[in-house]
Amino acid sequence: MTPPSARKGFTLIELLVVIAIIAILAAILFPVFARARENARKTTCLSNLKQIGSGLLMYVQDYDESLPTGCSYWWAPGGGGSGSRTDPQIWSDLLQPYSKNTQMFVCPSDSSPTMSTPWGNKQLSYCANMCFEQFNLLQMAQLTQPAQYAFAWDSESYYSYWYPENDTSLEATSYRPWLSSAKRHMDGSNMLFLDGHSKWITDGKMKQGILDKSLSFNPRIHNW
């Protein structure tokens, strides 16, 4: 019998046990690493929207409290209202002089950030709420609490807005969501609000119109 001190290498059983342990550890750790990477991307995306919000507020200050145009297809080239007024640029282009960075309009979790718009294809991962322009809510003074109004969020479509089902007045309460959001961040999306803050919202809460347990959300009405 060979003494233990003379053994060289591992037996097949020992190798299989080591391989099994490594496989179990990999199965445990890889999802953790993937989640950590996605958390980092989500944070970068939130930062993008926060910077867009800063550019938005500077734009509003320079243009007498007016929100940027180019948020609605209605006034875009070829749109239904373009006969009386045509928006020459999309909203992201109007904010470009303030952001001076095209990359902030692209979410790091967006694998195909090319978005089709009436102004051609744009490197864009976020939509702007078309309600503000569609229903002539272009002055910040019209909004009593800007923090309650969503301006932009993760999306794969330029055509995104929430509007009332049967009533187009500002105080309408019978709203239904027409919201195109991309669930890029752990079954949720990042949103930018008109006061400049950004927040991650779960997909379920967006569809239900709820941001917090005690607050019902609508991007157009005054009351929560």
Domain ranges of the chain: 11-216
- The CA distance from 152 to 39, in Å, is 20
Query: Can you list the positions of beta strands (E) in the chain?
Result: 114-117, 120-123, 126-128, 150-154, 163-164, 175-176, 188-193, 198-202, 210-212, 215-216
- The CA distance from 110 to 155, in Å, is 9
pTM for this prediction: 0.74
- What b/e sequence results for 144-174 when a residue is b if at least 16 CB atoms lie within 10 Å of its CB, and e otherwise? eebebbbbbbbbbebebbbbbeeeeeeeeee
Residues 37-81: pLDDT tens digits? 878 889 999 999 999 999 999 999 999 889 999 998 889 988 888
Residues 72-130: pLDDT tens digits? 888 998 888 888 888 999 999 999 999 888 899 999 999 889 999 999 999 999 999 88
